[in-house]
Structure 1
């Protein structure tokens, strides 16, 4: 049984998926003024650099995005100053702009419309030959676009598939109309962001309830499922004053993901680290010493690691390049089994994921499409004290957690004592009023102290007068 939790805050949207009450995935999208994957823009070519086969395109932001030029994309003849229709593949990072393509596609739940390839084709994961033959004869494909039939189509019925194709085609025509008549670079289509993608990819016949804290999102979901006969679910609008994720224990599970060491049932463990260019995952046998055979110990550890790695990649929403350092194995059949375990784990993954064979150094490389922020990027930031070598919780996330703790205090105490790690002293003191507002404590007396802490922060109510008097020097709000 599947539950979906959609938590919309002022500046961020979070979507959590639980299967049989276990957290399986968490998608995060911040409200930022920059191009996001899946969005379609009208752009103008600003520069072309033949040496790297790349065009730089203005789509209305400070940074130009970039597009690789390749014959297979039929874009090698574009000229400087030309207007182009592009879709964002990857967010910008640092000084680098977003990566875009002219191979535009618009996804639905049952089908994807493509602009360059005008064929009717099927998802590689769709294996039902009878359905494919039937669909090939009965799908109504417009002549000027391509259509890819998705795996969800098998249980949808041909009429539902054709209706969706017709609706997406109308969107396609509207995009091109706006492209033609717009004078400047601009956003033409966003397809609902991660909420739209989650509804298309995550909802299934096993989903029995969607919880959301936003009325508009509830209406959006109702409209989305109105013509999806295979989806029957309840929509719960969360009205409790407690945050949705806090109420269902999801916030604790997210914070626990800061731990980069994950234990395995056999006694081994995996270590997940992020570098500038990729994620690395190291597999260790640890306390797995039950077997007399080293070969068997290694194989069991690697198999359990493969299963856990799939779970962690989905749960932490890791994307880009992921390199796994398995314990050395010589047996080729055992290597095939480990790869098969990884492949089986991603078989239902809607993010495009490619798994490459073992290298000579026993490394496995995975390329996975980015979708929104990873859990690490959402809750952590680089430590300026050690020049980015360490990680700390982001201040805005700490404020969010403190707000939850204040709400949970019994009897709604008016005097609150907060201890924070010294690291956050300067940024908080620079704008103390903003801090108080962000923790939802404008109606409180706030006492704030900074110390070296292992747990980052503490929140406690001040009940007795002698407590308040003793801590009077730490009072920061209201500032009288």
Structure 2
């Protein structure tokens, strides 16, 4: 059974997906005024630079967006000052604005409607000729629009397919009217885009959705109103939803490079400047009598776990996998089948290449939003930004969860907290915000900054003797850092 956990805790929206109680995907979206993938903007052409084949577009934000000055656009005669609709295909990076495209598309559960294209195309996962013919009898071409039929369409009735086509066309025409009649530059489509996308792509079978926000509850109900296989539950606990269901601990594990396998082996995931490298090791898997069988067993289990980790960590770009050497070609085929099967649910643009002469497998994967690391970590100021530490905002969330848990189980309101010294300056500069964020304005907090711990440690204080020994570490909401 599939479970979808949706936690909104401003400024973050986090969504986790479990299949048969195993975490398979995690999405994080931070509320900001910046453009996100899939959003559509009304923009104005600010500059055309043929020398670098680029067009720069004002989309109503601080940074101008850019797109490729293709032959198709050249033939349209687009010029400086023209108003156009663009879709964000790559989010801003550093000082570079968002990359956009003229190929505006609206996704539905069963199909995607795209402006400026033509004809009807099918997902590569639809292999049935009968299903294709059935759908073609229902869905006709639309002048000026291309239609891509999604995998889920094979389970849809004629009425559902037609209804979605009409709704998408109506929504797209509304967006086009905004281009023509609105004077304001800015976003014309894309509110709650991650939430809508995840729900659309994951409610094809029996599914349970748990969420903690009233507006999200109403949004989800509107998306699944005709789907009797989906149940929706509101979570009202005092702890965070992710903490209550044990997801927080699983997310923290994603910071570790080494992932243990059930067979005794492990995989190690390293990030370099140019790519991700994943190494497979037999490690403690030495119980089998046959060396070749042990290698095959380890590699197959590793292939399955690697597919899960790629989706879970949202790894993108070039990924190199170094499996344990196999001399038998039939073994390589089995391992490759396991890897492809583990990635078949991946909705990203992914290509898996065959084994090289060095027994390496290469994967090219397009990123779907930001990596999970970008929300968990920040550069370490004490090591000249060469390493990474957990973000203070994330640590505050974890500490708050533990304090709330203690409150639920007992009446303790005094706590000793150790923080890595990396955070001392930030915390001391605004103790009030720190105590507010960990839900401790009215509690006794004893705070110590030390070297050599990963993030934080917290201990409830029960006896007065404990407090007496550390009384010089007590902080209050209004102290200033000298």
Residues 397-445 of structure 1: CA distance to partner in whole angstroms, max 9, x if unpaired? Answer: 0000000011111433232221111111111111111111111112212
Aligned counterpart, 2:439: 440
Residues 61-115 of structure 1: CA distance to partner in whole angstroms, max 9, x if unpaired? Answer: 2222221233467778533333221111121122222221111211000110011
Aligned counterpart, 1:138: 138
Aligned counterpart, 2:458: 459
Match of 1:271 among 265, 268, 273: 268
Q: 1:42 to 1:76 in 2, by over 3 A?
A: same
Aligned counterpart, 1:122: 122
Partner Cα separation in structure 2 for residue 415 and residue 95 of structure 1 = 45
Aligned counterpart, 2:225: 226
Partner Cα separation in structure 2 for residue 337 and residue 47 of structure 1 = 53
Q: Which moved more, 1:280-289 or 1:134-143?
A: 280-289
Please report how far the alpha carbon of residue 191 of structure 1 lies from its aligned counterpart in structure 2 after TM superposition.
5.5
Q: 1:99 to 1:332 in 2, by over 3 A?
A: farther
Partner Cα separation in structure 2 for residue 365 and residue 78 of structure 1 = 40
Aligned residues of 1:27 and 1:371 also touching (Cα < 8 A): no
Aligned residues of 1:445 and 1:478 also touching (Cα < 8 A): no
Please report how far the alpha carbon of residue 196 of structure 1 lies from its aligned counterpart in structure 2 after TM superposition.
0.4
Aligned residues of 2:308 and 2:343 also touching (Cα < 8 A): no
Partner Cα separation in structure 2 for residue 49 and residue 291 of structure 1 = 64
Q: Does 1:172 align with 2:169?
A: no
Q: 1:135 to 1:325 in 2, by over 3 A?
A: same
Q: 1:172 to 1:292 in 2, by over 3 A?
A: same
Flag structure 2 segments of 5+ consecutive residues without an equivalent: none
1:41-440 aligned at under 5 Å gives the runs: 41-71=41-71, 77-190=77-190, 192-207=192-207, 209-228=208-227, 231-289=228-286, 297-329=294-326, 333-409=330-406, 410-440=409-439
Q: 1:65 to 1:406 in 2, by over 3 A?
A: same
Q: Which moved more, 1:5-14 or 1:56-65?
A: 56-65
Please report how far the alpha carbon of residue 476 of structure 1 lies from its aligned counterpart in structure 2 after TM superposition.
1.4
Partner Cα separation in structure 2 for residue 433 and residue 268 of structure 1 = 47
Q: 1:135 to 1:62 in 2, by over 3 A?
A: same
Partner Cα separation in structure 2 for residue 343 and residue 465 of structure 1 = 59
Name the SS for the 1:412 alignment partner. coil
Partner Cα separation in structure 2 for residue 305 and residue 278 of structure 1 = 19
Please report how far the alpha carbon of residue 263 of structure 1 lies from its aligned counterpart in structure 2 after TM superposition.
2.0
RMSD value over aligned CA atoms?
2.3
Please report how far the alpha carbon of residue 277 of structure 1 lies from its aligned counterpart in structure 2 after TM superposition.
4.2
Residues 333-362 of structure 1: CA distance to partner in whole angstroms, max 9, x if unpaired? Answer: 544443332222222222232223344544
Q: Which moved more, 1:352-361 or 1:116-125?
A: 352-361
Partner Cα separation in structure 1 for residue 290 and residue 384 of structure 2 = 44
Aligned counterpart, 2:9: 9
Partner Cα separation in structure 2 for residue 277 and residue 219 of structure 1 = 42
Residues 108-149 of structure 1: CA distance to partner in whole angstroms, max 9, x if unpaired? Answer: 001100112121121111112111101111214433311111
Q: 1:286 to 1:418 in 2, by over 3 A?
A: same
Partner Cα separation in structure 2 for residue 383 and residue 254 of structure 1 = 20
Partner Cα separation in structure 2 for residue 334 and residue 116 of structure 1 = 46
Partner Cα separation in structure 1 for residue 72 and residue 277 of structure 2 = 32
Partner Cα separation in structure 2 for residue 73 and residue 327 of structure 1 = 49
Q: 1:445 to 1:95 in 2, by over 3 A?
A: same
Partner Cα separation in structure 2 for residue 319 and residue 224 of structure 1 = 29
Flag structure 1 segments of 5+ consecutive residues without an equivalent: none
Q: Which moved more, 1:291-300 or 1:18-27?
A: 291-300
Q: Normalising by structure 2, what TM-score?
A: 0.92
Residues 1-41 of structure 1: CA distance to partner in whole angstroms, max 9, x if unpaired? Answer: 11111000010001111122221111111112211011011
Aligned residues of 2:432 and 2:478 also touching (Cα < 8 A): no
Please report how far the alpha carbon of residue 182 of structure 1 lies from its aligned counterpart in structure 2 after TM superposition.
2.8
Q: Normalising by structure 1, what TM-score?
A: 0.92
Aligned counterpart, 1:39: 39
Name the SS for the 1:241 alignment partner. coil
Q: 1:74 to 1:196 in 2, by over 3 A?
A: farther
Q: 1:64 to 1:362 in 2, by over 3 A?
A: farther
Please report how far the alpha carbon of residue 297 of structure 1 lies from its aligned counterpart in structure 2 after TM superposition.
5.0
Please report how far the alpha carbon of residue 304 of structure 1 lies from its aligned counterpart in structure 2 after TM superposition.
2.5
Partner Cα separation in structure 2 for residue 236 and residue 420 of structure 1 = 36
Aligned residues of 2:40 and 2:189 also touching (Cα < 8 A): yes
Aligned counterpart, 1:24: 24
Please report how far the alpha carbon of residue 256 of structure 1 lies from its aligned counterpart in structure 2 after TM superposition.
1.7
Partner Cα separation in structure 2 for residue 301 and residue 311 of structure 1 = 16
